[in-house]
Amino acid sequence: MEETTPFQLATLLLVSTFKKYAEAEGKKDTLTKAEFRTLLDNEMPSPGNVLYNPLNFLHSALWGEEPRKVHRDDEGSGSEQ
């Protein structure tokens, strides 16, 4: 039997985490805004209510540049800084 790759493990973790939050309010294949906000708050906590923009974070991981910070307001929308 072949060994599970890191990519396979990461994919399984992403899918299981998505399902955990998507199933909270009925539809199991989508996230509501509230479910998505809960997922971000629980799975990507950030000090001082600052969230890194996921695309900037990915860019940083791939090319080593500093990600730009995004501040969230109470409605969950963000503004870049």
pLDDT by residue for the chain (81 residues), tens only, comes to 789 999 999 999 999 999 999 988 778 889 988 888 888 888 876 654 445 566 666 666 666 666 555 555 555 555 544
Both 28 and 6 in a single domain? yes
Using alpha carbons, select from 44, 43, 65 the residue that is nearest to residue 56. Answer: 65
Q: What pTM does this model have?
A: 0.55
User: What range does the domain containing 76 cover?
Assistant: 46-81
Number of domains in the chain: 2
Query: Which pLDDT score, from 0 to 100, does residue 10 have?
Result: 95
Give yes or no: residues 31 and 59 share one domain.
Answer: no
75 with 55, same domain: the answer is yes
Q: Do 52 and 31 share a domain, yes or no?
A: no
Quick one: pLDDT at residue 56? 64
Q: How much is the pLDDT for 54? A: 62
Q: Please spell the DSSP secondary structure of the chain, one letter per residue.
A: -PPPPHHHHHHHHHHHHHHHHHGGGS-SS---HHHHHHHHHHHS--GGGEEE-HHHHHHHHHH-PPPPEEEE-TTS-EEE-
Asked whether residue 50 falls in the same domain as residue 80, the answer is yes
52 with 81, same domain?
yes
